[in-house]
C-alpha cells in the first residue's frame, strides 16, 4: 500500500471533519400527510344525499419540504415549502385555482434569544388558535370551529396570508407573542394585521388571537375584524376545550358571535372526540353544529377514524354527514 505523508493525512482528516460538521449544521426534511375517507353528506337546506370518496375530511392532505442551517451564535436560517393536494383524485391544491404552495412558503431567521421572523406565505396564528383548541383540530369536514370561522361566510381571508411577515417571540415564562402583517399590493384594498398571545403551564393552555383582514392574496375582500379567546385543560381522563370569538364584517355591517365546547377522551389506542359549536349572527339565521367520532391509532403515523356530524341552520332542513377514513403521516 502507498503510504500517505502525515501532513497530507492530517489535511484529509480535517476536510472530512469539516464536511461532517457542515452536514450536521444544516438539514432538509421531506414530510406530508394523506387523508382519504368514504362516506355520505347532506348540506343544510339541501334535499339530496351524496356518497363519495373524499380528501381531507379530518386533515387536508399536503406534502412539502423544510430545512434549517445553523449560522452560529444561536442564529439559524430556515425555510418551508408546503403544498395542499386532493388525494382522492391526485390533483394539486385544495381547489382548481389554488396557489401551488398555499399551505406555507416562507424563508426566515430564528434565534433562541430573539425569536423567529419568517417572510412569504405564512399560516395565520388565528387559524392555528382555532385548530389548537378544538378536539377535531384542522378538520374542514368535521370541526365546528373550523367550519364556523373559515367556511360559513363569517371570517374573510384564507388560513394563510401571502406577502406576509410573521414574528414569533421566544417562550417567556410559558407565553409566546406573535405579530403578523400582510402587505397591501395592487388589487387589494389594504393590508392585513394580526396579533396572537398564547400561554401554557402544565395541564392548562390558553390563547387570544385578533386579526384585521382587507385582502386575500392580492385580491380585495370584505373588511373583517375578528378576535377569539380559547383555552383547554387536560384532566388526564379527558381534555376539555372552549372557544369564544366575534367576527365584525365592516363591509356588510353584520357581526357574528361564535362559540365552541368540546372534549377528547382517551379510549384504548385512540380517542373519543366530540364538539358542539354555534354561530349567532346579529342579522341572519343561527347555526348549530355537533360532531362526534372515534380516532384509532395503528401507530404514531397512521390512524383510522369514524366520525359523524349534525349541522342545523334555523329555518332550513338539517344537514348531516359521516365518514370512515385513514390518515398517514410521513
pLDDT digits (tens, 9 = 90+) for 233-280: 999 999 999 999 999 999 999 999 999 999 999 999 999 999 999 999
The string of pLDDT tens digits covering residues 269-309 is 999 999 999 999 999 999 999 999 999 999 999 999 999 99
The CATH H-level (homologous superfamily) assignment of domain 32-329 is: Porin (2.40.160.10)
Mean pLDDT to the nearest integer, 90-97? 95
Q: What is the dihedral of CA 221, 120, 166, 66, to 10 degrees?
A: 130
Q: Is the dihedral of CA 36, 37, 43, 48 positive or negative?
A: positive
Work out whether strand 192-201 and strand 26-42 pair parallel, antiparallel, or are unpaired. unpaired
Instruction: Give pLDDT, residue 330.
Output: 96
> CA Rg, the chain, in Å?
23
Q: Is the pLDDT of residue 130 over 80?
A: yes
Phi, psi of 72 (to 5 degrees): 90, 160
125: left (phi over 0), alpha (psi -120 to 50) or beta: alpha
Mean pLDDT to the nearest integer, 201-230? 94
Q: Is the pLDDT of residue 15 over 60?
A: no
Other Cβ atoms less than 10 A from the Cβ of 86: the count is 19
The string of pLDDT tens digits covering residues 181-213 is 999 987 777 899 999 999 999 999 999 999 999
| Domains of the chain by residue range | 32-329
Answer with the residue of higher pLDDT: 214 or 187. 214
Task: Kindly indicate the confidence band of residue 219, based on its pLDDT and cuts at 50, 70 and 90.
Answer: confident
- Three-class secondary structure assignment of the chain: CCCCCHHHHHHHHHHHHHHHHHHHHEEEEEEEEEEEEEEEEECCCCCCCEEEEEECCCCCCEEEEEEEEEEECCEEEEEEEEEEEECCCCEECCCCCCCCCCCEEEEEEEECCCEEEEEEEEECHHHHHHHHCCCCCCCCCCCHHHHHHHCCCCCCCCCEEEEEEEEECCCECCEEEEEEEECCCCCCCCCEEEEEEEEEECCEEEEEEEEEEEEECCEEEEEEEEEEEEEEEECCCCEEEEEEEEEEECCCCCEEEEEEEEEEEEECCEEEEEEEEEEEECCCCCEEEEEEEEEEECCCCEEEEEEEEEEEECCCCCEEEEEEEEEEEC
The string of pLDDT tens digits covering residues 63-81 is 999 999 999 999 999 999 9
Phi, psi of 12 (to 5 degrees): -60, -40
- Check: CB of residue 294 under 8 Å from CB of residue 301: no
Work out whether strand 175-182 and strand 287-297 pair parallel, antiparallel, or are unpaired. unpaired
The string of pLDDT tens digits covering residues 33-49 is 999 999 999 999 999 99
Measured distance CA(206)–CA(174) in Å, rounded: 10
Work out whether strand 270-281 and strand 287-297 pair parallel, antiparallel, or are unpaired. antiparallel
Measured distance CA(92)–CA(126) in Å, rounded: 25
Show Cβ contacts of residue 316 under 8 Å, excluding neighbours closer than 6 positions: 44, 45, 285
Task: Kindly indicate the confidence band of residue 7, based on its pLDDT and cuts at 50, 70 and 90.
Answer: very low
Instruction: Give pLDDT, residue 169.
Output: 98
Task: Kindly indicate the confidence band of residue 5, based on its pLDDT and cuts at 50, 70 and 90.
Answer: low
Task: Kindly indicate the confidence band of residue 26, based on its pLDDT and cuts at 50, 70 and 90.
Answer: confident
**Average per-residue pLDDT in the chain?**
93
Amino acid at each position: 500500500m502507498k503510504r500517505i505523508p502525515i501532513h497530507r493525512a492530517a489535511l484529509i482528516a480535517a476536510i472530512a471533519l469539516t464536511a461532517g460538521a457542515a452536514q450536521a449544521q444544516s438539514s432538509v426534511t421531506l414530510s406530508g400527510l394523506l387523508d382519504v375517507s368514504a362516506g355520505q353528506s347532506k348540506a343544510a337546506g339541501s334535499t339530496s344525499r351524496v356518497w363519495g370518496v373524499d380528501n381531507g375530511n379530518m386533515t387536508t392532505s399536503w406534502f412539502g419540504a423544510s430545512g434549517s442551517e445553523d449560522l452560529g451564535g444561536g442564529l439559524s436560517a430556515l425555510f418551508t415549502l408546503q403544498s395542499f393536494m386532493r388525494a382522492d383524485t391526485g390533483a394539486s391544491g385544495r381547489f382548481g385555482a389554488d396557489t401551488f404552495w398555499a399551505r406555507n412558503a416562507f424563508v426566515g431567521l430564528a434565534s433562541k434569544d430573539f425569536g423567529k421572523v419568517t417572510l412569504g406565505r405564512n399560516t395565520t396564528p388565528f387559524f392555528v388558535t382555532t385548530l389548537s383548541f378544538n378536539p377535531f383540530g384542522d378538520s374542514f369536514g368535521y370541526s365546528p370551529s373550523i367550519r364556523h370561522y373559515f367556511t360559513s361566510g363569517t371570517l374573510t381571508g384564507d388560513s394563510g396570508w401571502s406577502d406576509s411577515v410573521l414574528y414569533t417571540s421566544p417562550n417567556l415564562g410559558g407565553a409566546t407573542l406573535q405579530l403578523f402583517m400582510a402587505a397591501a399590493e395592487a388589487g387589494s384594498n389594504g393590508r392585513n394585521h394580526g396579533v396572537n398571545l398564547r400561554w401554557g403551564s402544565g395541564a392548562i393552555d390558553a390563547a387570544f388571537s385578533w386579526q384585521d383582514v382587507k385582502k386575500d392574496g392580492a385580491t380585495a375582500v370584505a373588511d373583517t375584524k375578528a378576535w377569539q379567546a380559547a383555552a383547554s385543560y387536560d384532566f388526564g381522563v379527558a381534555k376539555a376545550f372552549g372557544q369564544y370569538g366575534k367576527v365584525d364584517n365592516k363591509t356588510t355591517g353584520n357581526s357574528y358571535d361564535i362559540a365552541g365546547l368540546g372534549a377528547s377522551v382517551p379510549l384504548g389506542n385512540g380517542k373519543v372526540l366530540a364538539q358542539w359549536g354555534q354561530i349567532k349572527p346579529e342579522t341572519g339565521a343561527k347555526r348549530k353544529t355537533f360532531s362526534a367520532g372515534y380516532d384509532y391509532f395503528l401507530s404514531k403515523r397512521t390512524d383510522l377514524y369514524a366520525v359523524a356530524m349534525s349541522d342545523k341552520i334555523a329555518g332550513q332542513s338539517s344537514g348531516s354527514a359521516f365518514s370512515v377514513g385513514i390518515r398517514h403521516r410521513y
